[in-house]
Amino acid sequence: MKQLIAITTFLILLVTLSSFNSNFVAEEGDAIIGLWEPSSGKARVKISKIGNKYFGKIVWLREPIDPKTNKPKTDKNNPDESLRNVPLRGYRMLKDFVYSGDNEWSGGTIYDPESGSTYSCTINKDGEVLNIRGYVGIKALGRTDTWKRIKLKKKK
């Protein structure tokens, strides 16, 4: 009986520790959550977590209105014609990122609304800056953009 209690206690401790570790990794991964501005300054992207993956949605555009139509800008460069009327604001341009440790999120994709192309992507966080590298096939064939964290003004 004592042996059973000892084994059970050991298992509980083991699972508790691994659970703490998972929480720790998850919390580390959550450091990417928040509001970010790409270097072009043309948009703001909110990164959130859904399940165990991270997604980024365009929530602000410097020029939200299409001067040609006088209506909110849509995803008019999308290769899929049926999606060209989808508003850009609210568009999920970062998808399916998983925290892989060491301040890196990988396995996701980034959508470039200006060309209508979706690239493989990794994200590295350096302080309050994200280095976002979109690439074709291998990481060497890509481009890195720097996004800066921004915060909403507190309501008075």
Interface positions with another protein (CB under 8 A): 1, 4-5, 8-9, 11-12, 15-16, 18-20, 22-23, 26-27, 30, 35, 37, 39-41, 44, 46, 48-52, 55, 59-60, 68, 77, 79, 89-90, 112, 114-117, 136-137, 140-146, 148-153
Q: Which two tokens stand for residue 17?
A: 């520790």
Give the shortest CB-102-to-another protein separation in angstroms: 19
DSSP H/E element including 6: helix 2-29
- In the complex with another protein, the residue whose CB is nearer, 28 or 104, is 28
Give the shortest CB-32-to-another protein separation in angstroms: 13
User: Token match 């008019």: residue?
Assistant: 76
How far lies 51's CA from each of 30, 80, 117, in Å? 12, 27, 25
On the 0-12 / 13-18 / 19+ scale of CB atoms within 10 A, 105 is buried
Give the shortest CB-77-to-another protein separation in angstroms: 6
